[in-house]
Structure 1
Amino acid sequence: MRKKSKIWNKLIYAVNLFTAFLLFLTSTLSFFETQFLAVLSLFVPFLFFLNLVFLVFWLLRRKRQFLLSFLSLLFGYISFGSFYGFGEKSKEPLDSDLKVMSYNVMGFNKHGWLRIPDVEAKISDLIVLEDPDVICIQEYNETSDDWLDTYPYRRVAPYSRTVKRTIQAILSKYPIINNGSLNLPQTSNNIIYADLVVSTDTIRVYNTHLESFKIVPSSRTFSSDQSEKNYKRLVSTFAKQQEQVKILNEHRAKSPYKTIVCGDFNNTQFSHVYKTVSGGLNDSFLEKGNGFGKTYSLKGFPLRIDYILTDPEFEVIAHKNYTERLSDHYPIMATLRLKK
């Protein structure tokens, strides 16, 4: 019986060693630009969970093997930071604070993928209720030009019949004095920006929609005839996203203004893509968020792939994640205050 227990413990430790190695490897790879193993970043939450289970298992048995998972979790935390918000108390808002919302509206359900009537009107009601000062919308609908006319200043990416792109929009209560499009190459996605005059300051807001994986999880996704094709698609998407964020960072580096980067990155905070964009910026969820910060549900698993990132000159006063199911994404909103 004792011999069987030792064999069982060795098997468990072997699995533990493998999961700890994968977490350590993924944590290390997040600092480097690589596509072939970057797919591992999609599994970081599972690797954290498994290593936490092993940590508790060995602690309950009072075995020093717990150090393996402890060290891998510690290194993962140092690499990625916290991915669970504890809802740090928000400060009392001021009238001068800037409320910024980001929302991928999925074309207001124009293809009927959600069995919900009047989606556009329901989204409008939500926004009117929450009353953001600036809204960054991904996958806007080109037929909705007069939508939310309470926002007099707006930048909607031009719609081209020859170059098909998902439409981005920035709606603002503050005057837009300049705007533009980064026109990302060889993609239907895009990044636009607008310079807003807020009180005596000018602020640049980027509305970002990075390359999508275009993989719908199903039983066929991991079948032998589909797995290789999907892996190649994932690798290609990571490469395309990395190219796109370099274009964004090069453009942002030339901006003379304080910057806010919003949007749907189509990738998690565990990716090198996120690290590339967020370097030197504050993530409103990590500052003031609560829970897992779900902005997208993948077969019930919460993913955070939509972000509001700000220059350090902004103090994050509050962050809110919404649960209204009116798109395949959930909206987020941050309340920001310019530091004196």
Structure 2
Amino acid sequence: MIRQLKTFTLRLIAGANVVTVVLMLMVGYSGHLNPDAHPMLSNANLFFPVFMIVNFAFLVFWLLFKWRWVLIPLAGYVICYVPMRQYTPFNISRDTPRDAIKILSYNVHGFSGLNSTDGTPRRLLSYIAVQDADIVCLQEAHLSPYQAMVDSILGELYPHQEIVRAAEGGDCVAVLSKYPILRKERIEYPSRGNLSAAFYLKLPTDTLLVINNHLETTGLSPEDRSQFKSLVKGELRDKQVVEETSKLLIYKLAEATAKRAPQARAVADYIKAHQGKPMIVCGDFNDGPQSYSLRTVAEGLTDCYVASANGPGISYNRNGFFVRIDHILCSDDLVPYNCRVDRKIKDSDHYPIICWVKRSVEP
């Protein structure tokens, strides 16, 4: 009787493991769904790390109690290799060539900081100066209130600075460059406050197209974000509260995802219209590594983080969004090196993402 009960229990757990693997696979590829038609389901990839962890717990369990059945979670990781690599890549570190171009992309939260302390703008600007990147792409870059400070700290390092504002006001993106900026233009798409802009930089041997993006925000209030964090961490105990919170958050996230979809397609169309040019596409996508938005924009490009970084690279540092929503992409004539998310500075709600790129064949 005890043996039968043990066998039944193990089979029940095995069934749960199989279900977890199937859900992990579906969630990992949910970014292939068009948010116009499936706005809620296309957001499921946000929960991919949860299923990765649960599957790992099953792996440990089978190692301890029935090692032959460890094939179930291992098979799960194998069939989910692509979304797993997108979420948390592992690469062999390579030496960065001395003549590689250093790119820094950073949502600076309007330079106001999370606590609006007087020293925040100076700390952020000083951080940018210390990084000494060749090209700096900023989102929520409201420079004008701090222009004197910007000129004092960054003026000599970055003699070429350009800002593009959203069509209806609100956000602005900026590029600070050691190279001359030949021209700039906003990429047209529907948004009340977000934007993408193209900047053409004159390099010593070529012209580099840099597309700086700040796609539609999630639309979550600080209270919503706090509730999301509690939900992900399992801190909400009341079943009704969990259900109501889940529905509200899913609705708001789905609404924002549906707005980002045409924005991503507009950026992708601009990229296709300028194929053949060396280009960098970066910024705050407000969407994870398996999302429809990133997949759409990244078609034909190299995801610098996936190609050269290690680990999940979580770039949003508030409220339980355990994904990378800041990205750097490059054209296939550029080779990325040692991309990373720098988690040392916490004055914005984002961490900066940094990468080096070098032409694969000099023109």
Instruction: Report the TM-score, using the length of structure 1 for normalisation.
Output: 0.89
Correspondence for 1:228: 247
State the alpha-carbon separation in 2 of the partners of residues 52 and 99 from structure 1: 36
Correspondence for 1:261: 281
1:192 has 2:209 as partner: no
State the alpha-carbon separation in 2 of the partners of residues 184 and 263 from structure 1: 16
Distance of aligned partners of 1:65 and 1:87 in 2 relative to their CA distance in 1, 3 Å threshold? closer
Say which is worse superposed, 59-68 or 97-106, in terms of deviation.
Answer: 59-68
State the alpha-carbon separation in 2 of the partners of residues 184 and 11 from structure 1: 50
Correspondence for 1:37: 41
Correspondence for 1:314: 334
* Counterpart residue identity of residue 114, structure 1: N
Correspondence for 1:336: 357
Correspondence for 2:110: 107
Distance of aligned partners of 1:20 and 1:318 in 2 relative to their CA distance in 1, 3 Å threshold? closer
1:123-138 equivalences under 5 Å are 123-138=124-139
Per-residue deviation, 1:225? 4.3
Say which is worse superposed, 177-186 or 11-20, in terms of deviation.
Answer: 11-20
Aligned residue for 2:300, secondary structure, equals coil
Per-residue deviation, 1:97? 2.0
Any gaps of 5 or more consecutive residues in structure 1?
A: none
State the alpha-carbon separation in 2 of the partners of residues 236 and 158 from structure 1: 23
Correspondence for 1:213: 218
State the alpha-carbon separation in 1 of the partners of residues 316 and 31 from structure 2: 21
Correspondence for 1:55: 59
State the alpha-carbon separation in 2 of the partners of residues 123 and 279 from structure 1: 32
- Say whether the 8 Å CA contact 1:207–1:263 is kept in structure 2: yes
CA RMSD of aligned residues (A): 2.4
State the alpha-carbon separation in 2 of the partners of residues 133 and 93 from structure 1: 14
Correspondence for 1:166: 171
State the alpha-carbon separation in 2 of the partners of residues 25 and 87 from structure 1: 25
Correspondence for 2:186: 181
1:237-256 equivalences under 5 Å are 237-255=256-274
CA deviation vs aligned residue, 1:220-278 (integer Å, no higher than 9, x gap): 88635443332221111111111111000101111152111010111111222222222
* Counterpart residue identity of residue 209, structure 1: H
State the alpha-carbon separation in 1 of the partners of residues 191 and 166 from structure 2: 16
Find runs of 4+ consecutive structure 1 residues off by over 6 angstroms: none
The structure whose residues are more often strand, as a share, is 1
Correspondence for 2:155: 149
- Say whether the 8 Å CA contact 2:165–2:171 is kept in structure 1: no
State the alpha-carbon separation in 1 of the partners of residues 192 and 76 from structure 2: 37
1:282 has 2:302 as partner: yes
* Counterpart residue identity of residue 162, structure 2: R
Per-residue deviation, 1:290? 3.0
Distance of aligned partners of 1:22 and 1:92 in 2 relative to their CA distance in 1, 3 Å threshold? closer
Aligned residue for 1:2, secondary structure, equals helix
Per-residue deviation, 1:184? 2.8
Aligned residue for 2:290, secondary structure, equals coil
- Say whether the 8 Å CA contact 1:318–1:336 is kept in structure 2: no
Distance of aligned partners of 1:97 and 1:218 in 2 relative to their CA distance in 1, 3 Å threshold? closer
Distance of aligned partners of 1:80 and 1:128 in 2 relative to their CA distance in 1, 3 Å threshold? same
* Counterpart residue identity of residue 46, structure 1: V
State the alpha-carbon separation in 2 of the partners of residues 86 and 231 from structure 1: 31
- Say whether the 8 Å CA contact 1:165–1:190 is kept in structure 2: no
Aligned residue for 1:42, secondary structure, equals helix
* Counterpart residue identity of residue 258, structure 1: P
* Counterpart residue identity of residue 251, structure 1: Y
The structure whose residues are more often helix, as a share, is 2
- Say whether the 8 Å CA contact 1:58–1:66 is kept in structure 2: yes
State the alpha-carbon separation in 1 of the partners of residues 263 and 141 from structure 2: 20
Any gaps of 5 or more consecutive residues in structure 2?
A: 232-240
Distance of aligned partners of 1:158 and 1:25 in 2 relative to their CA distance in 1, 3 Å threshold? closer
Instruction: Report the TM-score, using the length of structure 2 for normalisation.
Output: 0.84
Question: Which residue of the other structure, out of 318, 323, 340, is the alignment partner of 1:303?
Answer: 323
State the alpha-carbon separation in 2 of the partners of residues 219 and 84 from structure 1: 25
State the alpha-carbon separation in 1 of the partners of residues 43 and 193 from structure 2: 22
- Say whether the 8 Å CA contact 2:166–2:195 is kept in structure 1: no
State the alpha-carbon separation in 2 of the partners of residues 242 and 65 from structure 1: 41
Per-residue deviation, 1:291? 2.9
